[in-house]
Structures are given as C-alpha cells and as structure tokens.
C-alpha cells in the first residue's frame, strides 16, 4: 500500500492538489495527491470487512488480507535498498489501522525474514498498547496469520511438515497460526 501511494503521489497523472478533507490516519503521511485521498478513504472504510470461513470447519478470516512476499525479500524485491524495515513497519501499522489484520506470509519470503518482521512488529505494537493501556481494534492481538511451507522432496513426510511449521511458529513468535498452507503444491512435479 505504501509503495502504491508513493507511486500515485509521483505519477504525472496526479498533478492537481486535492481539496477534499483527508481521513485521519496517524501512520500515513499527508500528501496533496487526489488519488491518495481515494485510497485513504477506502482504507478507513475497511473496518466492516466481510469474513469468510475457510472450508467446512476452518478458521473465519477477513475476505481481504495483506500479502507479505516483499517483506524482507531482497532476491525478488529491493528490501534493504529501495525500502527497509521502517517502511514495512509503516505498512503494517497502516494495515491494522485500516482494519486489514489478515496477514499472509511464507517461510520462503525473504528466507524467513518476512515472518521475523511480522513477529517484531506484532511485539512492538503489543508493547506500545500495554504502555498506553490501550486495546485498540488495530492492535497486534487482532492479527490473523497465515503462513506456508514449500514441499521440497526432502520434506514430504509428516515430520518434515511438522518441522517446517515449528520453525515458522518460532520465527513468528506465536503458538499457532490460523491457516497453514502448502506453497506451490505441485512444485515437485
């Protein structure tokens, strides 16, 4: 979202300053971009997100989630160059503030860095909320996590899946996740 906002701010199509009032969002910088006003307005109306139940007895999750492939990934993305942890932290906070609390990650995103950053931001958010005595709806306690593992040939066994999940839970610093998925289930063919 932050990258999209940045691109829209610097687009030649958005040279006109907006005259509409912006919703208050403490995590996003004020701009004079009309397109940013639209995005911020849309983000502030996400608090009433539709939810879906995954499978007949699966977890109930918001219909809109945040993918975190680029979080910590310098192989496919420019983490550490074009953006860093502070940019991702701002995206994390803005997402929670907008009501987008379903985060999708994977053990391979940034070779585990994505999961580690999410754990760090959740811990920081929880600490800030404790210090403020706050339990605001955009807190890290409301985060719903999904992660994935890659079924590479040496990890087809039940023990391989359990070990991969244990490693992800350790990186995420949580006892469980709402959804654990096979990443690219036909990758081995």
User: Which residues are known catalytic residues?
Assistant: 109
Tokens encoding 58: 């699966």
Give the angle subtended at the CA of 79 by the CAs of 113 and 25, to the nearest 5°: 90
Q: SS3 for 114?
A: helix
Residue 1 near residue 43, CB atoms below 8 Å? yes
Query: At a CB cut-off of 8 Å and minimum separation 6, what does 84 contact?
Result: none
Q: Using DSSP bridges, classify how beta strands 60-62 and 179-182 pair: parallel, antiparallel or unpaired.
A: unpaired
d(CA 14, CA 70): 26
d(CA 123, CA 125): 5
């Amino acid at each position: 979202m932050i990258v999209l906002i940045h691109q829209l701010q610097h687009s030649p199509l958005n040279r006109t300053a907006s005259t509409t009032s912006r919703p208050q969002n403490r995590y996003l910088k004020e701009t004079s971009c009309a397109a940013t006003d639209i995005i911020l307005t849309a983000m502030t109306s996400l608090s009433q997100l539709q939810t879906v139940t995954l499978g007949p007895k699966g977890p109930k999750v918001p219909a809109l989630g945040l993918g975190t492939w680029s979080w910590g990934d310098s192989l496919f993305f420019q983490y550490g160059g074009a953006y860093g942890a502070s940019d991702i932290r701002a995206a994390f906070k803005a997402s929670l503030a907008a009501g987008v609390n379903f985060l999708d990650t994977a053990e391979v995103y940034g070779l585990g860095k994505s999961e580690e950053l999410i754990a760090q931001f959740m811990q920081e958010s929880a600490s800030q909320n404790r210090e403020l005595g706050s339990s605001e709806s955009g807190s890290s306690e409301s985060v719903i996590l999904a992660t994935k593992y890659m079924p590479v040939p040496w990890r087809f066994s039940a023990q391989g899946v359990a070990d991969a999940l244990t490693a992800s839970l350790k990186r995420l610093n949580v006892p469980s996740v709402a959804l654990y998925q096979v990443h690219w289930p036909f990758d081995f063919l």
